[in-house]
Amino acid sequence: MGGSDSKLWEQRVANAEQSLGRAEKALWQKIEPVLIDALDEIKANGKLETIYVRTEMDKLSGTLKTFEETSIAHNVLGHLFDRTREEWVRFLRITEQFGFTQTNVARIYLTLEVAIALLSTELFKLVLLFHMKDVSYDVSKFPSTMRDCAPKTWHRLKPFVDNDFRNALAHGTYTIVSKGVVLYKDAKLSPFDKMKLHEFMMRTKEQNVLFMCLFNVLAAKKKSGFFT
């Protein structure tokens, strides 16, 4: 990988680590050794890609830019809630003529939170598959691909790739009720999980930790010559 690529990855890792809270750091420490073992097993089984074409890297950067732009919008709204009450009231007074209310802003923020969780889950799969060779690159087949390429590690990694949660968000089978969130299994709307709103927000952040931890592991592996 070129020098500019390494710097880009290192910057993303640094930004991620600075934004982690205590719970996210604890989760990171659980995920990191599993990802290291997964990559080691992928390499041992001859499924690690070591040759990368500039045009392919540019395409990958394009997909990651989508995530970064969504994160920026998410963070802008998030910072609104950190402001003083006077600043918050002034914001609403200025923007209410355009349809912004406290409820609307909170809903927009929650929508972006869901988008971040979905992008984190799917881009985690995409980035990992991108660094593999002679496999199916169909992101929807990620579980079976990992089961075939890293069978010893996949059972440890699988619980962190919250596919049931991802499916509920992607299929719209969830609803907000009484300051909580209910996740449904399918179109029969049979609940399979219910949580308070702050628990739901933490669940979305867990997928982001998984994605950014992969960046950290890949950056460290690149520096150590793992891909040569």
CB-based contact 127:119 (threshold 8 Å): no
- Which residues are CB-contacts of 142 (< 8 A; sequence separation ≥ 6)? 125, 128, 129, 161
57: alpha, beta or left, given left = phi > 0 and alpha = psi -120 to 50?
alpha
CB-based contact 31:213 (threshold 8 Å): yes
Q: Does position 6 have pLDDT exceeding 50, yes or no?
A: no
**Average confidence score pLDDT of the chain:** 88
Give the pLDDT confidence score for residue 15 in this predicted structure.
54
State the Cα–Cα distance between residues 158 and 47, nearest whole angstrom: 19
Give the pLDDT confidence score for residue 84 in this predicted structure.
85
**All structural domains of the chain with their residue ranges:** 3-159+214-223
Q: Does position 195 have pLDDT exceeding 80, yes or no?
A: yes
For 90, the token pair is 């002034």
Specify the length of the chain in residues: 228
Give the pLDDT confidence score for residue 3 in this predicted structure.
42
Give the pLDDT confidence score for residue 14 in this predicted structure.
52
By CB atoms closer than 10 A (0-12, 13-18, 19+), residue 151 is: exposed
Arithmetic mean of pLDDT, 9-24: 61
Give the pLDDT confidence score for residue 81 in this predicted structure.
81
Q: Which pLDDT tens digit goes with each residue over 39-67?
A: 999 999 999 999 988 898 899 988 899 89
Q: Which pLDDT tens digit goes with each residue over 114-170?
A: 999 999 999 999 999 999 999 999 999 999 999 999 999 999 999 999 788 999 999
Give the pLDDT confidence score for residue 85 in this predicted structure.
83
In this prediction, what percent of the chain has a pLDDT beyond 70? 91
